[in-house]
Amino acid sequence: MEKQQLPIIQGSFQIAKMPGKGGWSFVTFDAIDKQFREKFGVVNVWGFIDDFRLDSYGLMPMANGGLFLPIKAAIRKEIGKQEGDWVSIRLYPKTISSAGDDDLLLCLQDEPEIHELFKMYAEAEQQAFTNWVNAANGDEQRAERIATTMDMILRGKKRAD
């Protein structure tokens, strides 16, 4: 279950498109609090574009300090929007209890000792483990990464070790 969070981005934004064949469609945002930025300035979020749910998406950094959200063709088709149209966006920071992270959280809750150790890690380290598990390609690799994560936590290791 998701805990109550405040959106880090909320409002109406106009879809833009990079010029040229194959140019990305995107929306831009002003800079947000650095606490949400990860490696290379990416901000991992979940939320909504109109009524379309984003379970895990990355806001990409721009040279001016702002961020942009690429909007895939499949999403634009689903919401019936294109370049120049306005979309309603509500985005939340991706955390351990966010949508899509339930597998790791459920496994940790099944192992109270490991869960308590996990909660002792800094939030950034918890997020590093979570991101690594969520980046798995398929259920088998995800299960392997969860097992490895739990073993690392038991041994007091960090994701970067």
Please give the radius of gyration of the chain, using alpha carbons only, rounded to the nearest integer: 17
Domain coordinates in residue numbering, the chain: 9-93, 102-154
Tokens standing for 46? 């979940």
| CATH architecture classification, 9-93 | Beta Barrel (2.40)
pLDDT of 21 over the 50 cut: yes
Per the CB < 8 A criterion, the answer to whether 13 and 62 are in contact is no
Q: What integer pLDDT is reported at residue 32 of this predicted model?
A: 74
pTM of the model: 0.56
Q: How far is 156 from 150, CA to CA, in rounded Å? A: 10
Query: With bands split at pLDDT 50, 70 and 90, how would you rate the model's confidence at 101?
Result: low
What is the pLDDT averaged over residues 131-157? 87
Q: What integer pLDDT is reported at residue 58 of this predicted model?
A: 84
86 contacts: CB under 8 Å, gap ≥ 6: 12, 13, 14, 15
Query: With bands split at pLDDT 50, 70 and 90, how would you rate the model's confidence at 30?
Result: confident
